Amino acid sequence: MRKVEVFWKDTYSICEAPWTSREELEKQTNGHMPICSMGYVFKENDDYVVITQSCNPFEKDGGEEFGMSVAIPKGMIDSIRDLS
């Protein structure tokens, strides 16, 4: 698997209150949540990239297990840097 660093914009909750004034909503939506995730590309298609941070290829039953995996929609990705 290819080792990568993915820079992307995550979604985030804006307010804890059920109702928010226009002014407060304007104050809280001045940016985005920049994220950098590193891992191995498990799957990639036109819509998203799935990266996994851990892989256990030595399972007793001969299968593999993966941990800390995330599917990132392509529209949220700024860049992918190959670390291999």
List the pLDDT tens digit at each of the 84 positions of the chain. Answer: 899 999 999 887 777 778 888 888 887 777 778 899 999 999 999 999 999 998 887 767 777 888 999 999 999 999 999 998
Type and span of the H or E element at 72: strand 65-73
Q: Compute and round to an integer the Cα radius of gyration of the chain.
A: 17
What Cα–Cα distance (Å) separates residue 51 from each residue in 9, 25, 60, 77?
15, 33, 24, 13
